[in-house]
């Protein structure tokens, strides 16, 4: 689990192919200061497992599914990336609950009225609400406006300076993780909403069974 509070801007040192994915080596002196084999580090919001570390660098393997769903597929040597170590029990939750399981990507469309605008797939936009939380390239942000296929956020100067978001240009692709609580609520409520839509709802009966209400 992560919080969406970026600890360090790292640099991609090497990108190599694997049989079913890619291997990344990233320079990050802070996040590697106490890293061990098997630890989790979020790279641009994607939770990855450290397979090797040393001299201020760490190496991770990225499977094909992760490359397909995320913008990590376009990383190249020299690119800057947002880094965050997994949170420890008892740490302050400075952002929001972030799993590091990217749901898809969005595209930066530019600035409008002091807000940064992103376009995202419609199937993800339904999880966004005004003043709700969203993770963009591993950065916990508050949604200002939520539309059918776009959303806006306000980037404070510190966020722009200390993360990759201040280096992004219109047309750039970013990783998106929506609020996991919204996805769980949709899953749990789905059958009940579907039943209500059919004009029926299961209710406790007097005899301990169920009866149909219309």
Task: Please tell me the pTM assigned to this model.
Answer: 0.86
| pLDDT for 2 | 94
Cα–Cα distances in angstroms (integers) from residue 127 to residues 9, 19, 20, 75, in the given order: 28, 35, 31, 27
- Asked if residue 12 has pLDDT above 90, the reply is yes
Mean pLDDT across the chain: 90
Choose among 100, 14, 19: nearest CA to 59.
14
Pull the structure tokens for residue 60.
Answer: 């991770």
Same structural domain, 61 and 108? no
pLDDT tens-digit map of 114-133: 999 999 999 999 999 999 99
Percent of the chain with pLDDT over 90: 76
Q: Does the residue 35 lie in any domain?
A: yes
At 209, is the secondary structure helix, strand, or coil? coil
| pLDDT for 199 | 58
Same structural domain, 80 and 108? no
Q: What distance in Å separates the CA atoms of residue 165 and residue 80, rounded to the nearest whole number?
A: 10
What confidence tier does 89 reach under pLDDT thresholds 50, 70, 90? Answer: confident
Pull the structure tokens for residue 79.
Answer: 């690119």
pLDDT tens-digit map of 137-154: 999 999 999 999 999 999
pLDDT tens-digit map of 37-79: 999 999 999 999 999 999 999 999 999 999 999 999 999 999 9
Same structural domain, 125 and 78? no
Same structural domain, 109 and 180? yes
Q: Does the residue 199 lie in any domain?
A: no
Strands 150-153 and 173-178: unpaired
Q: Does the residue 211 lie in any domain?
A: no
| pLDDT for 95 | 82
| pLDDT for 198 | 66
Q: Does the residue 34 lie in any domain?
A: yes
Give the structural domain span for 69. Answer: 8-85
CATH code for the domain in which residue 152 is found:
2.40.30.20
- What does 56-106 look like in DSSP terms, one character per residue? TEEEEEEEHHHHHHSGGGG--TT-EEEEEEPPPTT----S--B-S---EEE
Q: Could you give the number of structural domains in the chain?
A: 2
| pLDDT for 172 | 97
Q: Is residue 86 within 8 Å of 20, Cβ to Cβ?
A: no
- Asked if residue 176 has pLDDT above 60, the reply is yes
| Across 1-23, average pLDDT | 95
Q: Does the residue 2 lie in any domain?
A: no
Same structural domain, 109 and 70? no
Q: Is residue 96 within 8 Å of 140, Cβ to Cβ?
A: yes
- Asked if residue 188 has pLDDT above 90, the reply is no
Q: Is residue 45 within 8 Å of 115, Cβ to Cβ?
A: no
How many Cβ atoms sit within 10 Å of the Cβ of residue 214?
6
How many Cβ atoms sit within 10 Å of the Cβ of residue 10?
26
Choose among 120, 157, 115, 147: nearest CA to 135.
120
- Can you give the C-alpha Rg of the chain in angstroms? 20
Same structural domain, 33 and 77? yes
| Across 78-84, average pLDDT | 98
């Amino acid at each position: 689990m992560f919080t969406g509070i970026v600890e360090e801007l790292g640099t991609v040192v090497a990108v190599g192919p694997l049989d079913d994915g890619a291997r990344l080596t990233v320079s990050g002196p802070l996040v590697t200061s106490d890293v061990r084999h098997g630890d989790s580090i979020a790279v641009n919001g994607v939770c990855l497992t450290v397979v090797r570390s040393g001299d201020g660098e760490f190496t991770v393997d990225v499977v094909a599914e992760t490359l397909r769903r995320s913008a990590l597929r376009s990383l190249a040597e020299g690119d800057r990336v947002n880094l965050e170590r997994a949170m420890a029990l008892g740490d302050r939750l400075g952002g929001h609950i972030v799993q590091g399981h990217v749901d898809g990507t969005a595209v930066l469309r530019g600035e409008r009225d002091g807000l940064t605008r992103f376009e995202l797939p419609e199937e993800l936009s339904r999880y966004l609400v005004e003043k709700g939380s969203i993770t963009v390239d591993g950065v916990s942000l508050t949604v200002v406006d939520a539309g059918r296929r776009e959303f806006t956020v306000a980037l404070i100067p510190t966020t722009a300076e200390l993360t990759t978001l201040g280096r992004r240009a219109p047309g750039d692709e970013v990783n998106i993780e929506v609020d996991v609580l919204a996805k769980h609520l949709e899953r749990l409520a789905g059958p009940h909403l579907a039943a209500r839509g059919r004009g029926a709802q299961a209710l406790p009966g007097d005899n301990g069974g169920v009866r149909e209400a219309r």
